[in-house]
């Protein structure tokens, strides 16, 4: 049975990342798995590291894993780089002559993602946002084989979030076909969720014919399909007043059009503003921290995806 190989991709000033590769030595897809794109999201790191040492009977193609993509952020326990303050997941395709995070994005873009058929980017909501357990993919016509949709369905999360637009700079946007995960995990680390991520990757590999289906556990329940732009930097509903944002709903909750999603209050508890849903759907993103100023994005609602 083919064995894993591990190599180091080096960058200036002792930076870089480990690359783990399992080659079936048979024709097929090349699938890449990322853990730790954001340094404070540990469950994906655990799942990716477990995968990179697993005894997998790969039937076709090549599986590559970068267990800790952004080491500077991971070892600093932060979402962004302590070296230049940049968010790696907003920096692709990078710049070989740029800042440390831009150099890292460029190395990942050229040495790992170039020529790959599918990326699985294991995120959690982290400490800033509150997001239900979901997989997301982009459906803008670039994924001619439909690998992203197949992978998102196979993963087995509670929600499958389809995006009809491609946000610039994202890890996901660097690929024709890719999925990402999210889960409501701000810490401490949830090892059981790391197991669910690991199982989800196995289901994707089985769906793509790279593993025998008997090697992939069945999902816990059917996924609900939703759709929206999904750019958490600009597609969420903003507040118009400064104060404290108080949630009136939870992640994953179904809401009606016009329902109050949250309130902005002052320090005495007086309500300054109510945020109401623009449509019927499901709460997929909430700002976790309460302090807000005018224009801050605080809540996102996605609608039912009726496309079969």
Q: Which residue has the tokens 């790992």?
A: 112
Task: Give the pLDDT band (50/70/90) at residue 308.
Answer: low
Residue with tokens 């209050």: 265
- The CATH class of the 237-304 domain is mainly beta
Q: How far is CA 46 from the centre of its chain?
A: 15
Total residues found in the chain within this entry: 308
Asked if 300 contacts 228 with a C-beta cutoff of 8 angstroms, the reply is yes
Nearest to 181 by CA among 219, 135, 150: 135
Given a contact cutoff of 8 angstroms between Cβ atoms, the answer to whether 89 and 38 are in contact is: yes
172 phi, psi to nearest 5 deg: -60, -40
pLDDT tens per residue, range 233-272: 888 999 999 999 999 999 999 999 999 999 999 999 999 9
Q: Mean per-residue pLDDT for 13-39? A: 97
The overall pTM is greater than 0.85: yes
The owner of tokens 């995990």 is: 185
Of the pLDDT bands very low, low, confident and very high (cuts 50, 70, 90), residue 15 is very high
Q: What is the pLDDT of residue 33?
A: 98
Q: How far is CA 91 from CA 71, 77, 184, in A?
A: 15, 19, 24
CATH among 3.40.449.10, 3.30.360.10, 3.40.630.10, 1.20.1600.10 for 5-227: 3.40.630.10
Mean per-residue pLDDT, 172-179: 95
The residue ranges of every structural domain in the chain are: 5-227, 237-304
């Amino acid at each position: 049975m083919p064995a894993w190989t591990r190599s180091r991709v080096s960058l200036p000033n002792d930076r870089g990342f480990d690359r783990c590769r399992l080659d079936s030595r048979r024709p097929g897809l090349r699938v890449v798995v990322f853990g730790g794109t954001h340094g404070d999201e540990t469950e994906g790191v655990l799942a990716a590291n477990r995968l990179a040492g697993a005894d997998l009977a790969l039937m076709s193609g090549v599986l590559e894993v970068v267990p800790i993509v952004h080491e500077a952020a991971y070892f600093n326990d932060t979402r962004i780089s302590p070296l230049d303050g940049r968010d790696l997941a907003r920096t692709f395709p990078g710049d070989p002559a740029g800042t440390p995070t831009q150099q890292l994005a460029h190395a990942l873009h050229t040495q790992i993602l170039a020529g790959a058929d599918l990326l699985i980017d294991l995120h959690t909501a982290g400490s800033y946002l509150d997001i239900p357990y979901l997989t997301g993919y982009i459906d803008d016509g670039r994924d001619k084989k439909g690998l992203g949709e197949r992978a998102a369905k196979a993963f087995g999360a509670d929600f499958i979030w389809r995006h009809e637009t491609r946000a610039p700079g994202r890890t996901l946007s660097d690929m024709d076909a890719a999925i990402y995960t999210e889960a409501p995990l701000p810490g401490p680390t949830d090892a059981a969720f790391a197991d669910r991520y690991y199982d989800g990757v196995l289901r994707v590999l089985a769906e793509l014919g790279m593993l025998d289906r008997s090697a992939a556990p069945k999902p816990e329940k059917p996924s609900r399909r939703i759709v929206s732009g999904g750019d958490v930097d600009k597609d969420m509903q903003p507040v118009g007043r400064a104060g404290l944002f108080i949630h009136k709903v939870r992640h994953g909750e179904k809401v009606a059009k016009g329902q109050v999603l949250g309130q902005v209050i002052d320090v005495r508890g007086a309500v300054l503003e109510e945020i109401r849903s623009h449509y019927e759907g499901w709460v997929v993103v909430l700002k976790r921290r309460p302090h807000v100023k005018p224009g801050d994005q605080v809540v996102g609602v996605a609608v039912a995806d009726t496309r079969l």
